[in-house]
């Protein structure tokens, strides 16, 4: 079987996720990214889905944890076509790859395209206990103050930054907001999260006021007629995740924040600062859109680490 046939089978599976499972576009794209890496790994070794055994799948997962040497050829690739300098990934990301592979092979077995599932005997990789990194309150204040609100693009940037920090939205949720998702009177946004689940999240008076100014001073001049997107570019098109990442990084530099800043760090900072202020963990879970409260509890560990640091710094026997 050729690589083209393998890719066709993968395409059928991704279409199954889109149409029959109804998964969100971003979720399907994440599956596609991980599974295309596996297809490349198979092709480099002359293997297919049907011929892949447990040892081969385990070796693929192991290769993710042990990247090839950063020795590049003329095409900029390392050993056996792997991207040169690919970063090693942790247990949590390996577990995500394994989950994607399990779903794929279950589908292929139902379609009678493979005779066995090589992932059945593979244990889930142990996730490393990585804690979210957050910005300090002072850093957030500098970041929010960085855009020039007298400039239309700066006003839009400020409105987006304030909205994200005030609500803790995922970047895909922020750029996916529509005009009809904003309730100006109540100070709420209707958010469509993972799995198409909707929730109402407050964004506060300051964010609401900036969004109002942006709608009048910038969006009214930029937006194409009929475009439902709340946040748009000067070209009239809806904002993308990649574009907002660049906006955050640019204003972080202006704010003099030397460590890397991403939209997700604003989300982490939102949750941590709420809990520091005495917010209920369950309320934070609802606002973040976490289906399981154990996902939200990671922020309590961040608070514990901060308390330990304060104790060590200020207690005479710390």
Secondary structure (DSSP) of 216-229? IIIIHHHSPTT--B
CA angle 97, 101, 103 (to 5 degrees): 120
Examine the residue annotation and report whether 299 is marked as an active-site residue of this protein.
yes
- Of 156, 265, 267, 268, the catalytic one is 267
Is 241 labeled as catalytic in the residue annotation? no
Considering the candidates 96, 194, 199, 249, report the single residue annotated as catalytic: 194
Task: Specify the 3-state DSSP secondary structure of 239.
Answer: coil
Two tokens, residue 48: 């297919």
Distance CA 278, CA 226 (A): 42
Our measurement of the distance from residue 16's CA atom to the centroid of its chain's CA atoms, rounded to an integer in Å, reads: 23
Rounded to the nearest 10°, the torsion over CA 77, 80, 82, 83 is -10
Q: Which of 156, 162, 170, 265 is catalytic?
A: 170
Tokens 């008076």, residue? Answer: 205
Instruction: Tell me the backbone φ, ψ of residue 86, rounded to 5 degrees.
Output: -60, 135
Catalytic residue, candidates 299, 301, 306, 314: 299
Has 80 been annotated as catalytic? no
Residue 116: DSSP 8-state: S
Look-up of token digits 């142990």: 126
Instruction: Give phi and psi for 112, each to the nearest 5.
Output: 60, 35
Catalytic residue among 106, 190, 249, 290: 290
Could you confirm whether 267 is annotated as catalytic?
Answer: yes
Instruction: Provide the residue count of the chain.
Output: 318
Active site residue 87: no
126 is catalytic: no
Q: What is the enclosing helix (H) or strand (E) of 199? A: strand 198-202
Task: State whether residue 189 is helix, strand or coil.
Answer: strand
Within the chain, residue ranges assigned H as helices are 3-19, 25-44, 54-65, 91-110, 137-145, 152-167, 171-175, 204-214, 220-222, 241-254, 263-276, 281-288, 293-296, 298-314
Please state, in angstroms and rounded to a whole number, the distance separating the CA atoms of residues 240 and 231: 9
The set of catalytic residues is: 170, 194, 264, 267, 290, 299
């Amino acid at each position: 079987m050729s690589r083209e046939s393998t890719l066709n089978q993968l395409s059928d599976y991704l279409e199954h996720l889109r149409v029959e499972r109804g998964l969100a576009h971003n979720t399907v794209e994440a599956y596609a990214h991980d599974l295309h890496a596996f297809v490349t790994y198979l092709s480099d070794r002359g293997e297919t889905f049907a011929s892949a055994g447990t040892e081969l799948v385990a070796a693929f997962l192991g290769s993710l944890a042990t990247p090839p040497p950063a020795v590049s050829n003329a095409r900029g690739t390392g050993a056996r076509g792997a991207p040169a300098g690919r970063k090693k990934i942790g247990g949590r990301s390996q577990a995500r790859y394994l989950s994607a592979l399990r779903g794929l092979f279950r589908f292929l077995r139902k379609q009678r395209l493979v005779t066995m599932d090589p992932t059945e005997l593979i244990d889930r990789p142990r996730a490393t206990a990585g804690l979210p990194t957050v910005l300090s309150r002072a850093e957030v204040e500098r970041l929010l103050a960085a855009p020039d609100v007298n400039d239309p693009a700066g006003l839009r940037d400020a409105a987006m930054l304030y909205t994200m920090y005030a609500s803790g939205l995922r970047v895909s949720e922020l750029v996916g907001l529509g005009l009809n998702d904003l309730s100006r009177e109540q100070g709420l946004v209707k958010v469509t999260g993972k799995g198409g689940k909707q929730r109402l999240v407050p964004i506060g008076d300051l964010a609401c006021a900036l969004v109002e100014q942006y709608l009048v001073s910038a969006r009214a001049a930029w937006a194409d007629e009929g475009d439902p997107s709340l946040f748009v570019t000067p070209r009239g098109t809806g904002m993308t995740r990649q574009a907002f990442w660049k906006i955050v990084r640019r204003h972080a530099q202006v704010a003099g924040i030397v460590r890397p800043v991403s939209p997700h760090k604003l989300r982490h900072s939102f949750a941590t600062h709420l809990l520091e202020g005495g917010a209920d963990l369950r309320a934070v879970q609802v606002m973040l859109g976490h289906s399981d409260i154990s996902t939200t509890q990671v922020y309590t560990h961040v608070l514990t680490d901060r308390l330990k640091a304060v104790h060590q710094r200020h207690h005479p026997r710390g």
